[in-house]
Chain A
Amino acid sequence: DVVLTQTPPTLSATIGQSVSISCRSSQSLLDSDGDTYLNWLLQRPGQSPQLLIYSVSNLESGVPNRFSGSGSETDFTLKISGVEAEDLGVYYCMQATHAPLTFGSGTKLEIK
């Protein structure tokens, strides 16, 4: 199975600060169809996960553009440009290139 390693496990930020979360894959996530199926999800406290970014860098409808994704092959990054209070929660990367689909262990974002 593909292992996704997220760092850091926890992140503490002030409002307005920019932060980044890393997701490294044990194998390339470039699919034979040319797409890279690496998504980012946010799970706010007490809520279900929600999709933020799909296929590395595509912003899901309704997601603020302070969220951005980048990367390729095995190294990926989620950036929040100007953290807001509503951004607190746990961020997960997940891959859908290789079966079985797998998730990172999560990064908890706390607001100082």
Chain B
Amino acid sequence: EVQLVESGGGLVQPGASLKLSCVASGFTFSDYWMSWVRQTPGKTMEWIGDIKYDGSYTNYAPSLKNRFTISRDNAKSTLYLQMSNVRSEDTATYYCTSDYFDYWGQGVMVTVSS
């Protein structure tokens, strides 16, 4: 059974940094491009970016490129999202997903507030 399990979310102050993790199982993680997608409290979906199966290439939404970094550790079957200088508008549920969008995690909530 395919599983993607995100963690690392919570309440953070504006300007802080946060790193989300997504542990994959049930499929060959190292064969897949992977993406991060977020959903705001108003249910708007936003693609954050993706990473090549070997970690050698990343793409980002231009509006987030300077603050968010995607990485992966194929030995640990884990995808990461490093968020820096977070803002209130980063408050959302963050999902990791395969780049075909056929596998989704359960999501992890991030709330940015002082």
Are B104 and A99 in contact (CB-based, < 8 A)?
no
Nearest A residue to B44 via CB reads A105
Contact with B along A68-109 (1 / 0, CB 8 A): 000000000000000000000010101010011111011000
Are B95 and A49 in contact (CB-based, < 8 A)?
yes
- Bound-state CA distance A58–B95 (Å) is 23
A101-B47 CB under 8 A given contacts A48-B95, A48-B105 = yes
Interface residues on B, range: 10 to 19
Are B44 and A50 in contact (CB-based, < 8 A)?
no
- Bound-state CA distance A106–B45 (Å) is 9
A41 at the interface (CB under 8 A from B): yes
Q: Give chain A residues whose Cβ lies under 8 Å from the Cβ of B43.
A: 90, 106
Q: How far is the CB of B64 from chain A (nearest CB, A)?
A: 9
Among the listed A48, A101, A102, A103, which residue makes an inter-chain contact with B106, where contact means beta carbons less than 8 Å apart?
A48
Are A60 and B44 in contact (CB-based, < 8 A)?
no
The binding surface of chain A is classed by DSSP as strand
A51-B100 CB under 8 A given contacts A90-B43, A103-B45, A106-B43 = yes
Nearest A residue to B4 via CB reads A48
A54-B100 CB under 8 A given contacts A48-B106, A100-B62 = yes
Q: How far is the CB of A111 from chain B (nearest CB, A)?
A: 19
A36 at the interface (CB under 8 A from B): no
5 tightest A-B contacts by CB? Answer: A103-B45, A101-B47, A48-B104, A100-B61, A51-B102
Binding site for A on B (CB under 8 A): 35, 43-47, 59-62, 95, 100-102, 104-107
Binding site for B on A (CB under 8 A): 39, 41, 48-51, 54, 60, 90, 92, 94, 96, 99-103, 105-106
